[in-house]
Amino acid sequence: MSLFRIAYFSGETVRFTRVELEQLLKQSRDHNARVGITGILLYKDGNFSQVIEGEEIPVRELFEKIRHDPRHRRVIPVIEEPIDQRDFADWTMSFRDLDEDPATIAPDLQWFLHSPWAHLDFSQHSETIRGFLRAFTSATA
């Protein structure tokens, strides 16, 4: 079994309500449980950051589905890599709403939490992104 991870950022095309976010999470968790995908979804100011991990083919198929989902705009993969183990093995899809629940992030990453993700040049911040996402490996949701 070859494990693989994709992390991406995207913006929503239409603002999600809390109920719509909860429905999206339920659908994602149900789908991910069926195909063996785990991960985390972060939401902030109308933007998403998500890590999906599992066997490479289902992860890539899910990412392509997300890429073509009309609810997303500017889908930018920032990490695509083989992995030895899952960072989010306990969650079919953990979730953090960073608007309602600002995470405790290391001081050197606070600027990233408060930056408008839609305007960042992600190619310039790969290590910052890794550190930011790694901060959520102990998240619960």
* Domain span at 42: 3-134
DSSP state of 45: T
What CATH number is attached to the domain comprising 84? 3.30.70.100
Would you say residue 39 lies in a domain? yes
For residue 141, name the pLDDT band (cuts at 50, 70, 90).
Answer: very low
* Average pLDDT, integer, range 9-36: 90
> Is 139 part of a structural domain of the chain?
no
Q: Of the ranges 26-30, 52-56, 99-103, which one carries the lowest mean pLDDT score?
A: 99-103
Q: Is the residue at 140 inside a domain?
A: no
Q: What angle do CA 3, 6, 45 make, to 5 degrees?
A: 145
Q: What is the pLDDT of residues 67-121, one digit of tens each?
A: 999 988 888 888 899 999 998 888 888 888 877 765 555 566 666 666 666 666 7
pLDDT, average across residues 122-127:
69
Distances (CA, A) of 134 to 7, 22, 39, 131, 139: 11, 23, 12, 5, 10
- Average pLDDT, stretch 18-47? 90
pLDDT of res. 120: 67
DSSP calls for 66-120: HHT-TTEEEEEEEEEEEESS-SSTT-SSEEEETTTS-----GGGHHHHTS-GGG-
- Residue 100 corresponds to which amino acid? E
**For 15-20, what is the mean pLDDT?**
86
Mean pLDDT of the chain: 82
| Residue-level pLDDT at 139 | 47
The reported pTM is 0.82
CA distance 100 to 140: 15
Q: Is residue 9 included in any domain, yes or no?
A: yes
- Within-domain flag for 120: yes
pLDDT at 60 (0 to 100): 97
Supply 137's token pair. 């490996």
Share of the chain above pLDDT 70, in %: 77
Number of domains in the chain: 1
Please check whether residue 44 lies inside any domain of the structure: yes
Residue 141 lies in a domain: no
